[in-house]
Structure 1
Amino acid sequence: MSFLLNPAWADGPSQTRQTESTTISIAGHDVPVVKGGLYDRYRSNPPLSVIASEAPDVDLSWFKGLKKEKVDIGFESYSPNFYYKNSRVTVIFTADLNKLRELMPAQVLEKVQPLQVWPGRGLVALTAYAYDYCDNDSYNEIGLSVITNRPGSSSFGPLTLMSQAMSNDFWGYVLKLPVNTELARVRGVIGYNLPKWLTGINYHETDNSIVVEILDSQTGKIDVTLETKKLANLSSKVSMVTNSFTNIDQQGKLTTGHATSRQLSHASSTSSEAVSLILTEGSLSTFIKSLDLGKMVKYEYVPEFQSALYSPRPL
């Protein structure tokens, strides 16, 4: 598990290389980070001139229009957090509606509800992220979220889903969010109130597919494998997407946070043949099985996007 303790710069989704680490303190936690990396030097506030020098192939025009602000999120940081070069795949499945409600705190359910797409069935989104170059160095992340309505608005099931899709403004409640660096875990748990834990996540490409392997944090064995096809009908038309979440902070108060993504290359499919999800007896697999996944509703292939993650605020 040594690679978990020595965060690595990613040369791309398919490979990483070992680098020397150093230890810093975040909210009283000793956290290993890449020595001389972006976070070690700038603590989430690197000048764009540095990014332009280190990654001359990255288009920074969007980030130039965004203003960072110093925030206290349990430790001093800056919002939004910038993700300069990334890729992701997302698969949306139907799931047991009652089970989804059981997994959401009553306090959250007072404000948002899982979207019911037909009787007894809700939706979950399983997303694998490869953050190749960002303010937090580089890391991989897996998100499993319940798709909900917007707080304070009525839920009309499929109509609400269509409305969110048309506006590219999605809402959810995050169930699971494993990451493969301690820096991402500590920042996410303390600063964003997210259910993160540290484990191995391998995100690599073949000629025709993206293969993501999630290890069980206790056994080190492969827990979940997600393999998705690289879609051919890629659009290079820039698409702006907002993903917001509702959760509870360290003081038990409702909060909301969001990320805005600038999708530079993207495609989608409704063919179940584009996705293979292999579950084992591991802890995450067991949890996913409990959701009673059904029909795959949509697959999104986004090989190139940028993102700005904003710190949470009271709901």
Structure 2
Amino acid sequence: MNVRTIAATVGAVLSLSAGAVWAQPQTTTIDVAGQPVPVVKGGLYDRYRSNPPLSVIAAEAPDVDLSWFKQLKKERVDIGFESYSPNFYYKTSRVTAIYTADLDRLKALMPAKVLEQVQPLQVWPGRGLIALTAYTYRYCDNDSYNEIGLSIVTNKPGSSSFGPFTLLSQSLNGDFWGYVLKLPVNTELARVRGVVGYNLPKWLTDIDYKETDKAVVVEIYDAKTKQVDVTVETRKLDDLSSKEVMVKNSFTNVDQKGELTTGFAVSRQLRHASSSSADDVQLTLTDGSLSTYIKALKLGKLLKYEYVPDFQSALYAPKPL
């Protein structure tokens, strides 16, 4: 290899490296609830703090249908810091796997104060339900991030629990209730807002949400070891429905003052499909912390798999129960 060839090769490598550096979004640090939080410089949150005009969204994402959001009104709220409710998620995808789990273990993981109001749904003797959901928020008021939700399916506060009949009623009405056990995210902004503002069990870790022609592959890393902890691989279902479906997901938890609160998100599902085939979901667990936690739940039969590649959502600030 002559000098000219070497120089050209080095130049190409440096050019690629410079391109990779410039491809990374620049960040700036802002204050959220008294904590320094890095955010995308010039991003939606940096500019508008959860209250961007829909005209801005229309200009930056002309492919997004904003008709539903035009019907919703934001209100200024104090949730440990000044924000606006609801928080808008304009372009989002998710996959959800619902498994049976050990009922006694689920009850043991819920605070006594919460258990006074809600209980895990018993689908048959000794078995409750766990929902494992992987979200990728591609464009939202908080810029973009990935999130993993691990929740116990419960009855509505103050209502009786009739096990599978309650589950059927929630399904028919599109009105689901749960208690959130784990909620890792991959941005510090999502973590701080979730912990302080919504009383949710969030922590920061790497989460890769990847798609192939036939599958969605989500890798959740252990925050301490930096190794892959949990892998969820799900099949992209072919029989997608484009019928718009509205779904409400509510949660009950305890705030930082020890008081019961409840919050909810309303989702507008634009493309979606579901199945009950165990072949559509592959859950791989390791010796990591989240894997160990999930193993202790003694997961059983896959009850339902939901593939929702296109939906929008509005997350409302929690209120006292």
Choose the corresponding residue for 1:140, options 126, 143, 146.
146
> In the alignment, what sits opposite 2:51?
45
Asked if 1:236 is matched to 2:242, the reply is: yes
Q: Whose Rg is larger?
A: 2
Asked if 1:290 is matched to 2:302, the reply is: no
> In the alignment, what sits opposite 2:189?
183
In the alignment, the residues of structure 1 paired with residue 33 and residue 282 of structure 2 have an alpha-carbon distance, to the nearest angstrom, of 40
What TM-score results when the alignment is normalised by the length of structure 1? 0.95
Asked if 1:309 is matched to 2:281, the reply is: no
Choose the corresponding residue for 1:156, options 159, 162, 175.
162
Provide Cα deviations, 1:62-91, integer angstroms capped at 9, x if missing partner.
000000000000000000000000000000
Q: Secondary structure at the match of 2:167?
A: helix
Q: Secondary structure at the match of 1:197?
A: coil
Cα offset, 1:237, TM superposition: 0.2
Provide Cα deviations, 1:80-127, integer angstroms capped at 9, x if missing partner.
000000000000000000000000000000000000000000000000
> In the alignment, what sits opposite 2:270?
264
Asked if 1:86 is matched to 2:83, the reply is: no
Choose the corresponding residue for 2:83, options 77, 80, 101.
77
Q: Secondary structure at the match of 1:133?
A: strand
In the alignment, the residues of structure 1 paired with residue 29 and residue 183 of structure 2 have an alpha-carbon distance, to the nearest angstrom, of 23
Q: Secondary structure at the match of 1:240?
A: strand
Gaps of 5+ in 2: 1-22
In the alignment, the residues of structure 1 paired with residue 305 and residue 315 of structure 2 have an alpha-carbon distance, to the nearest angstrom, of 23
In the alignment, the residues of structure 2 paired with residue 297 and residue 68 of structure 1 have an alpha-carbon distance, to the nearest angstrom, of 36
Choose the corresponding residue for 2:256, options 250, 255, 259.
250
Provide Cα deviations, 1:160-210, integer angstroms capped at 9, x if missing partner.
000000000000000000000000000000000000000000001011000
Paired residue type of 1:209: A
Q: Secondary structure at the match of 1:95?
A: strand
> In the alignment, what sits opposite 2:281?
275
CA-based RMSD? 0.4
Moved over 6 A (4+): none
Cα offset, 1:18, TM superposition: 2.0
More helix, by proportion: 2
Q: Secondary structure at the match of 2:25?
A: coil
In the alignment, the residues of structure 1 paired with residue 240 and residue 310 of structure 2 have an alpha-carbon distance, to the nearest angstrom, of 10
Gaps of 5+ in 1: 1-16
Paired residue type of 1:70: R
Cα offset, 1:274, TM superposition: 0.3
Paired residue type of 1:281: D
Provide Cα deviations, 1:243-301, integer angstroms capped at 9, x if missing partner.
00000011110000000000000000000000000000000000000000000000000
Q: Secondary structure at the match of 1:189?
A: helix
Choose the corresponding residue for 2:118, options 99, 102, 112.
112
> In the alignment, what sits opposite 1:103?
109
Cα offset, 1:155, TM superposition: 0.1
- Sequence identity of aligned pairs in percent? 76
Paired residue type of 1:166: L
Q: What are the residue-to-residue correspondences of 1:186-205 with 2, within 5 Å?
A: 186-205=192-211
Provide Cα deviations, 1:11-49, integer angstroms capped at 9, x if missing partner.
xxxxxx520000000111000000000000000000000
Count of residues in correspondence between the two structures? 299
